[in-house]
Amino acid sequence: MRHIAIIGSGPAGYYTAEAAQKQFGDDVRVDVIDRLPVPYGLIRFGVAPDHQSIKAVSRRYEGVALSENVRFVGNVMVGEDISIDELLGMYDAVILATGAPNDRDLGIPGSDLPGVFGSAAFVGWYNGHPDFADLEPPLEGKHVVIVGNGNVALDVARILSKTRVELGGSDIVSHALDMLETANTEEVTILGRRGPHQIAMTPKELGELGHLERACPYVDRADLPDEGEDMLLEPGLRKSVTCLREFAAIPESYRATKPISIEFDFFAAPVAIEGNGKVERIIVERTELDSELRSRGTGETYAIDCSMVVACIGYQTPSIEGVPYEHGRGRFANVEGRILPGLYCVGWARRGPSGTIGTNRPDGYMIIEAVADDIADGAGKQGRAALDELLEQRGIQIVKFSDWKKIEEAEIARAREGAPREKFVRIEDMIKAAN
Ligand code: NAP
């Protein structure tokens, strides 16, 4: 019998568990351990609440979770409740699928002012992550600045702009929905330090900005390269740029009918955030591209008055004591997923935060092939029996998948009309529902 512990129950974790089942059949026992009492990581806390069709992939993970040889072990913090060394003594392979839930630092003066948030915090707030339930972002101002030209920047701009009705079928948590409803936002500026041809936004997500009830995107034609140059782009990016061209062609008369403007400010890098005890303005430097298409400052700066800044500039994996870490890239130091004997990483914890949810599937299968090569038939370790004994000694109550199903049932029962669920945002409420 082989015993595998997977740390993290998001897409990387469950695709890896699925791969282990396929690879080893009945000759494996997999424990999927999560620090929260609820599964699915990024699917629950990262994917936008109005993108329910993307969240539906959790049904596939549920199929894996419900099988005999895979077990969900929620409410256990690896690195605090149990160490990596202890896990390595119990399991033939320990696979870190912890994702990249921490924000990268903007690293400019003033980025610690109240009113500046990373996207993990801001997205976590409207998605009901227990760590960010009390964020209380200042939404009374008219102008919000978003930094970054990726899909998360689009998610944040869209959620800030949608009406209560537009968010009707979403599972945005009520505390966020209520606050967003009273927001005074009139302008959302999306800063990109490079140009339209360097965006990391995908066409579907960009296109959604063109169909909002009370908001309209704005792109300055002057920022767009000659149309002929679009032919050199790969097809996905070309489509995205076509979206930007459509936004640039929206007539002023139409834009004037929308109370919120979502403005793309390209070649614009933040250099400082200023304000008296809170965000009042962001100082931006005009940039240009060097020969390697990196941004470089031109020395020309300007200020944008704003009351909130959300930095959507990518994420990093939290480090765990005793696990080699690559600081520059914000992920575990690894060679094709191998960290140390018996210790592996997969998904964003291995590659850094890029790619779609589906990218984690081949990743999971690849890591299980490496595990199969390394552990043969297993070394006679005790696996979950040893884990349960140790956690019981330490008084840690684990949350099983059947407990999660009770939490889920309670969340569905308390949903707003039209919404799929009302998430619990406090760990104690999750545990109460499980019991
Ligand atoms: P991302 O795609 O890596 O985009 C990060 C953006 O931040 C880039 O435009 C980057 O510009 C910019 N940036 C980085 N550091 C900066 C700095 N110091 N100052 C100014 N700008 C800076 O990251 P993401 O948007 O967080 O998305 C993470 C992953 O999740 C991506 O793979 C994304 O596609 C995926 N995702 C998908 C969906 C969806 O499919 N619906 C939704 C959300 C997220 P440079 O290019 O110049 O570095």
Q: Low-confidence residues of the chain, pLDDT below 50?
A: none
Sheet holding 295-305, edge to edge: 268-274, 281-289, 295-305
Residue 25's pLDDT is what?
94
Mutate to test the pocket of ligand 1, among 313, 329, 331, 359 (most ligand atoms within 8 A of CB): 313
pLDDT tens figures, 111-148? 999 999 999 999 999 999 999 999 999 999 999 999 99
Distance 354 CA to ligand 1 centre (A): 8
pTM above 0.85, yes or no: yes
Among 148, 201, 147, 193, which residue's Cα sits nearest to residue 289? 193
**Can you tell me which residue has the tokens 């390269």?**
225
Q: Is 298 in the pocket of ligand 1 (CB under 6 A)?
A: no
Contact indicator for 334, 140 with CB cutoff of 8 Å: no
Q: Is 46 in the pocket of ligand 1 (CB under 6 A)?
A: no
Q: Is 151 in the pocket of ligand 1 (CB under 6 A)?
A: yes
102-135 in b/e burial notation, b at 16+ Cβ within 10 A?
A: bbbebebebbebebbbbbbbbbbbbbbbbebbeb
The two counts, helices (H) then strands (E), for the chain are: 16, 19
Q: Which residues pair with 187 in a beta bridge?
A: 143, 261
Q: Is 354 in the pocket of ligand 1 (CB under 6 A)?
A: yes
Distance 430 CA to ligand 1 centre (A): 31
Distance 330 CA to ligand 1 centre (A): 14
Residue 318's pLDDT is what?
95
CA atoms within 13 A on the CB side of 326: 17
Q: How many angstroms separate the Cα of 108 from the Cα of each of 125, 269, 270, 272, 273?
A: 23, 11, 8, 5, 7
Q: Is 148 in the pocket of ligand 1 (CB under 6 A)?
A: yes
Q: How remote is the C-alpha of 214 from its chain's centroid? A: 26
Mutate to test the pocket of ligand 1, among 126, 149, 289 (most ligand atoms within 8 A of CB): 149
- Cα 407 from Cα 9, distance rounded (Å): 16
DSSP state of 28: E
Residue 101's pLDDT is what?
95
Residue 59's pLDDT is what?
93
